[in-house]
Amino acid sequence: MVSLIIDGRKVEVPRGSTILEAAKKVQVNIPTLCYLKDIGHDVGACRICIVEVEGQRDFVTACNTPVEEGMVVRTNTPAVREARRTTLELILANHPMECPTCPRNGNCELQNLAAQFNIREVRFPRIRREFPVDDSSVGIIRDPNKCIVCRRCVTVCEQVQTVGVYELQRVDGQAIVGIKGNVPLAETNCVQCGQCALVCPVGAIYERDDTDKVWAALADPNKHVVVQTAPAVHVTIGEMFGMPVGTDATGKIVAALRRLGFDAIFDTNFSADLTIMEEGSELLERIQKGGVLPQFTSCSPGWIKFLEHFYPELIPHISSCKSPQQMLGPITKTYYAQKKGLDPKDVFMVSIMPCTAKKFEAARPEMKASGYQDVDVVLTSRELGRMIKVAGLDFANLPDENYDDPFGTGTGAGQIFGATGGVMEAALRTAYELATGKTLPKLDFTEVRGMKGIKEAAVDLNGTTVRVLVAHGLGNARMLMEKLKAGELKDYHFIEVMTCPGGCIGGGGQPIPTTTEIREQRIAGIYERDKKLPYRKSHENPDIKKIYQDFLEKPLSHKSHELLHTKYTPRGLMPKKS
């Protein structure tokens, strides 16, 4: 332990702690802007967190300065306050003053600091040149003019996701964050995961807003507008309306969507169950017939695009199953349209997803099994939140309402898709009982739960020990892919990969902020909802039984392959060298 004095108060903290961490122990919150503990980003670039240390001539940055025995720190002297204020003014001088029209208005760290420091004027002229907005990609928009060069996006993309799209550059002698190769974002290895948008403190990176397309469809009397809601959204969207983190707001989501005017409201948990039926059957077939193993899960589109870019030679390992979103699209435009007597061209499918990469997935050219684009528009949790606010709905006080038939029943297995390890656990619940004909002695596979980067488990399926791995965050996925290439994973059968840390509850389209603590609370909400649902295994879902009986025949049938399975595209590294 190290003893020091902060603003006249003695504090003891473990050796290696920073001044920022020590200050919190005496209830002093030193302001920060670039600092982000969850991704190990403490470069001190913004210099908002400066403090005075007795005996040192210059200010030091509290976020990355380790404490020392006997250190005397002052965080609130006139000189410190003036230096922080000047730094903020310099940042604001080079920042577009577009707060009312910015997607981060009201939830912007720079805006909050300006209010905290009571800044009413900026004394400095703008000196940075203007840059074009990059709206080339399907899911992510980048406005370099709002970038404050905090480098959070660089760190999360390089160190957490290991994609490495962003880099620090110099333009006219000034530091900026740019794209490697100086190409549009769409021409890079970007997997559209949106983790950069999730950590950006301002509005420099944000999701493409497609709400106008949905409003237009809702107003079109010729459109039958259907919506589906992802498992992770159930326990996250309430945060946008002041509800505690992890609150199950499923019934209120349904009520809000009904009031917005959707003609039918379906649960993506249903198609998650459908995914388990198909993916679990595919796994058993690969094991029994000597197929390519280990089989990879395929429901996380950022992970699929990552593999297409960085490990195209491993594509045969990916399950051919579409994601739950992309299964419900063609089922709605075929089976449901037939039952309702609707022309598929008039059925407009909207997905509410935690994920910016889902926008890219829906736009893939192969996602037209129904003869039309299977999912017309994908909205993130944040976009739906904005629609609800535009409509003036008092979300937190809406009554709980139920989904519509025939895709309104989802199981706990479908629900846990929203957390890392959830797809694996759901698959094991069903694969075990399909393979053995016995009831699982223990339903909860706790070995694959939690925030550990890579987890593993084993289950006996009729004498065959099936070994599984779970990874979340693409950095962890890369570690597994390298081990697989080195021949170290030949004894494993099934690997689940979720693109985002924590799984879909930490998706790039989720409410901001999304910290490790918030992820853990959301995951707790996921498993709490799982426990409360009447069905907890995909194969026990009565609506799943009915669609196979009436339409799909059986898992891996010709019809299911036609509608529910797909192929992938080797992309290689980008930008392509000429």
Active site residues: 279, 282, 299, 319, 358, 361, 366, 504
Cα torsion for 92, 94, 100, 104, to the nearest 10°?
Answer: -80
User: Phi, psi (5° rounding) for residue 39?
Assistant: -115, 15
**Beta-sheet strands, E only, within 62-204:** 72-74, 140-142, 166-171, 174-179
Cα 66 to Cα 17: distance, rounded to the nearest angstrom: 6
Cα 538 to Cα 330: distance, rounded to the nearest angstrom: 20
**Two structure tokens written together for 463:** 């004498």
Output the CA–CA distances (angstroms, integers) from residue 413 to 255, 267, 534, in the order listed: 23, 13, 11
Buried b (16+ CB within 10 A) or exposed e, 199-219: bbbbbbbbbbebeeebeebbe
User: Phi, psi (5° rounding) for residue 350?
Assistant: -115, 135
Q: Distance of alpha carbon 473 from its chain centroid, rounded?
A: 10
**Two structure tokens written together for 124:** 């400095």
Closest CA to 414 of 219, 266, 252: 266
User: Phi, psi (5° rounding) for residue 391?
Assistant: -75, -10
Q: Cis omega (within 30 of 0) on the bond before 330?
A: no
Cα 558 to Cα 339: distance, rounded to the nearest angstrom: 20
Is residue 391 classed as helix, strand or coil in its secondary structure?
coil
Largest CA distance in the chain: 81
Is residue 557 classed as helix, strand or coil in its secondary structure?
coil
Alpha helices by DSSP H, 496-551:
516-532, 542-547
User: Phi, psi (5° rounding) for residue 205?
Assistant: -135, 130
CA quadruple 83, 86, 90, 92: dihedral sign? positive
Query: Which residue, chain included where needed, has tokens 């084993």?
Result: 458
Q: Which amino acid is at 535?
A: Y
Q: Cis omega (within 30 of 0) on the bond before 294?
A: yes
Query: Cβ distance 192 to 302 under 8 Å?
Result: yes
Query: Which residue, chain included where needed, has tokens 């791995």?
Result: 469
Cα 518 to Cα 502: distance, rounded to the nearest angstrom: 10
Region of residue 7 (left: phi > 0; alpha: psi -120 to 50; beta: else): left
For residue 309, give the H/E element and its range: helix 301-310
Q: How many helices (H) and strands (E) does the chain have?
A: 19, 17
Contacts of 387 (CB under 8 A, 6+ apart): 211, 214, 215, 260, 379
Residue 152 neighbours by CB distance under 10 Å: 26
Cα 495 to Cα 403: distance, rounded to the nearest angstrom: 32
